């Protein structure tokens, strides 16, 4: 009980409340602007958190990501451009509703079910995380190695267009993480005599480059186009709330559960949750023929799922230090910088910090309703912000943010290099997210791998000898082989469907 009281005291300070509120507004704005993703919102926020205390910093990032994931639904509904990839699954459905003049129903459903989904995910986080932490205490380097590898493989093999290109991105990230002195042997690697590189690649400028500068370069190269809006006036958002909850509580619950479960899976986050939930909703629905023509049912299920996934993604992040998606990957990077190394010991030595994080989650999802209402009412203005003006401003912001981390121009150079890298990767359909996971998880994978190899005298079999390690190892290998298994199944089914 004492820890919870302490946690309330920690959260109820002006610095935490103000930073959570400002970050919420910021996340809402960035998420609502088409083409700016939730990850970019976090990337732009991180240089600020560098100057904050750990709790306001984490609180700001939680609030910002929750708002941005939700706000992505606004341009998705009104312009048919998903604000964040997590909204892409139901963009066509929501836009069809706008064309039928039902934008307020779609937006109202997004707002309410996002908030409920977020709270559901938080509830699971509160129950599951401490219980898992108990288990995690018994983990050795073998289990941590498999968990990290599992996180990385899930990121690549679940829902990726091309697993091969995801792998390439991952290995680029892992190689980047080996630069510098920070390795088990403590020798400088790939520094080529530059003292700046000794400390490794600064995580913050690299991330700002990959997620923000790459986007600026794309706008420069392809041109920054603004799009027209179909429905300008938004009516009463709360009109159908009661009716929707009553009619679609099953869909909501299913979306929440599925979303949280996918979020907990290391390496899979809100985007995948939304896609799976939409597909499942269509399959289970009594009226699947209405899907795609402006039917609220699928929207409810998938918007419930993507916000619930956010809470779920924090379970492996806090308990094992394994990110559930690229946003938690960034947050874990920041936690390490702050000296708050995520892992089971966090629950034992600083339970009040964990409870405080839980409280901020609840707070953020409650803030979402008034702020989301304001953003939807102001959508006409937010969506009209011209990208031609916005993109250079983002560039300027990125430059100053990357400089501020060490007060050195070196940070800007890193940002630029990774900006160009991110641009080239995305232009060639190589996803960026596995790369950032690789950069964050690289040191963890290497340390646990080398430690385990030394412990077992180089026998790889030892990785499967402990029971949990063995299960995790086999599961990881199954995930890796899943595209192959899928191919075989399709081959076997192929002739059968042709004859049918």
Partner 1 sequence: MVKSDIIIGLILTVLGVAVILHAQSFPDIPGQEYGAAVFPVIAASALAACGLLLAFKALRRRATVPEGVDVAHSMAGITPAGWLKGLATIALVLFYCLFSDQLGYIIAMGLVLVGGMMLLGVRWWVAILISAIAIFAIHELFVVLMRVPLPRGTIIPF
Residue numbers at the binding site for partner 1 (CB under 8 A): 48, 51, 164-165, 167-168, 171-172, 174-175, 178, 183-185, 187, 189-190, 213, 216-217, 219-224, 386-389, 391-393, 395-397, 399-400, 403-404, 407, 409, 412-413, 415-416, 419-420, 423, 427-430, 445-446, 449-450, 453-454, 458
155 vs 318, beta carbon nearer partner 1: 155
308 vs 391, beta carbon nearer partner 1: 391
Report, in Å, the least distance between residue 188 CB and partner 1.
Answer: 9
Report, in Å, the least distance between residue 224 CB and partner 1.
Answer: 5
Q: Nearest to residue 316, comparing CAs of 123, 139, 148? A: 148
Report, in Å, the least distance between residue 168 CB and partner 1.
Answer: 5
Measured CA to CA in angstroms, residue 480 lies from 149, 154, 196, 443 at distances of: 10, 8, 37, 21
Count the neighbouring beta carbons within 10 Å of the beta carbon of residue 381: 9
Report, in Å, the least distance between residue 427 CB and partner 1.
Answer: 5
The Cα 302–Cα 82 span in angstroms is: 14
276 vs 414, beta carbon nearer partner 1: 414
Report, in Å, the least distance between residue 389 CB and partner 1.
Answer: 6
Report, in Å, the least distance between residue 176 CB and partner 1.
Answer: 10
What distance lies between CA 45 and its chain's CA centroid?
14
DSSP state at residue 189: B
Report, in Å, the least distance between residue 214 CB and partner 1.
Answer: 11
81 vs 276, beta carbon nearer partner 1: 81
Report, in Å, the least distance between residue 11 CB and partner 1.
Answer: 22
188 vs 378, beta carbon nearer partner 1: 188
148 vs 359, beta carbon nearer partner 1: 148
219 vs 356, beta carbon nearer partner 1: 219
Report, in Å, the least distance between residue 127 CB and partner 1.
Answer: 37
* Paired tokens of 299: 């929207």
Burial class (CB in 10 A: 0-12, 13-18, 19+), 323: buried
Contact 121, 303 (CB under 8 A): no
Contact 69, 310 (CB under 8 A): yes
Burial class (CB in 10 A: 0-12, 13-18, 19+), 396: exposed
Report, in Å, the least distance between residue 408 CB and partner 1.
Answer: 10
Interacting residues of 453 by C-beta distance below 8 A, sequence separation 6+: none
DSSP state at residue 318: H
Measured CA to CA in angstroms, residue 331 lies from 108, 201, 225 at distances of: 30, 17, 32
Report, in Å, the least distance between residue 239 CB and partner 1.
Answer: 38
- Residue listed under structure tokens 């086999």: 474
DSSP reduced 3-state for 71? helix
Long-range CB pairs of 377-382, under 8 A, 24+ apart, other chains included: 377/234, 379/32, 379/74, 379/75, 379/78, 379/234, 380/229, 380/232, 382/29, 382/32, 382/33, 382/74
The Cα 96–Cα 110 span in angstroms is: 14
Handedness of CA 287, 288, 293, 298 (dihedral sign): positive
176 vs 299, beta carbon nearer partner 1: 176
């Amino acid at each position: 009980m004492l820890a919870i009281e302490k946690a309330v005291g920690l959260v109820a300070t002006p610095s935490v409340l103000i930073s959570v509120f400002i970050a919420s507004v910021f996340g809402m704005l960035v998420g609502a602007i088409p083409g700016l993703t939730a990850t970019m919102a976090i990337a732009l926020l991180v240089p600020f958190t560098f100057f904050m205390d750990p709790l306001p910093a984490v609180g700001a990032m939680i609030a910002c990501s929750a708002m941005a994931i939700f706000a992505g639904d606004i341009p998705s509904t009104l312009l048919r451009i998903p604000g964040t990839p997590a909204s892409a699954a139901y963009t066509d459905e929501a836009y069809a509703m706008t064309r039928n003049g039902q934008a307020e129903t779609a937006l109202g459903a997004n707002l309410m079910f996002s908030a409920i989904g977020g709270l559901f995910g938080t509830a699971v986080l509160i129950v599951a995380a401490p219980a898992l932490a108990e288990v995690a205490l018994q983990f050795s380097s073998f289990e941590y190695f498999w968990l990290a590898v599992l996180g990385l493989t899930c990121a690549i093999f679940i829902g990726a267009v091309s697993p091969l290109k995801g792998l390439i991105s991952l290995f680029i990230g892992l190689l980047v993480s080996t630069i510098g002195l920070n390795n088990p042997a403590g020798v400088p690697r790939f520094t080529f005599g530059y003292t700046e590189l000794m400390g490794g690649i600064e995580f913050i400028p690299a991330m700002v480059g990959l997620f923000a500068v790459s986007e600026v370069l794309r706008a420069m190269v392809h041109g920054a186009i603004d799009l027209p809006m179909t429905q300008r006036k938004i009516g009463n958002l709360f009109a159908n709330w009661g009716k929707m909850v009553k009619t679609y509580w099953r869909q909501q619950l299913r979306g929440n559960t599925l979303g949280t479960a996918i979020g907990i899976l290391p390496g899979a986050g809100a985007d995948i949750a939304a896609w799976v939930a939409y597909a499942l909703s269509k399959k289970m629905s009594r009226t699947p023929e209405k899907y795609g023509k402006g039917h609220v049912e699928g929207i409810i299920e998938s918007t419930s799922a993507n916000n619930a996934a956010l809470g779920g993604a924090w379970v492996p992040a806090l308990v094992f230090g394994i990110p559930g998606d690229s946003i938690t990957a960034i947050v874990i990077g920041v936690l390490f910088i702050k000296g708050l190394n995520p892992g089971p010991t966090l629950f034992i030595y600083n339970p009040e910090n964990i409870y405080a994080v839980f409280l901020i989650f609840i707070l953020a999802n409650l803030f979402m309703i008034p702020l989301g209402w304001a953003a939807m009412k102001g959508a006409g203005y937010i969506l009209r912000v011209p990208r031609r003006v916005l993109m250079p401003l983002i560039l300027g912001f990125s430059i100053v943010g990357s400089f501020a981390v060490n007060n050195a121009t070196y940070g800007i150079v890193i940002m630029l290099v990774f900006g160009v890298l991110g641009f080239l990767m995305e232009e060639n359909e190589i996803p960026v997210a596995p790369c950032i996971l690789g950069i964050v998880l690289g040191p963890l994978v290497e340390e646990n791998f080398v430690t385990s190899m030394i412990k077992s005298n180089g026998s790889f079999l030892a990785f499967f000898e402990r029971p949990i390690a063995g299960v995790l190892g086999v599961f990881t290998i199954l995930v890796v082989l899943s595209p192959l298994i899928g191919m075989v199944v399709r081959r076997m089914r192929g002739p059968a469907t042709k004859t049918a």
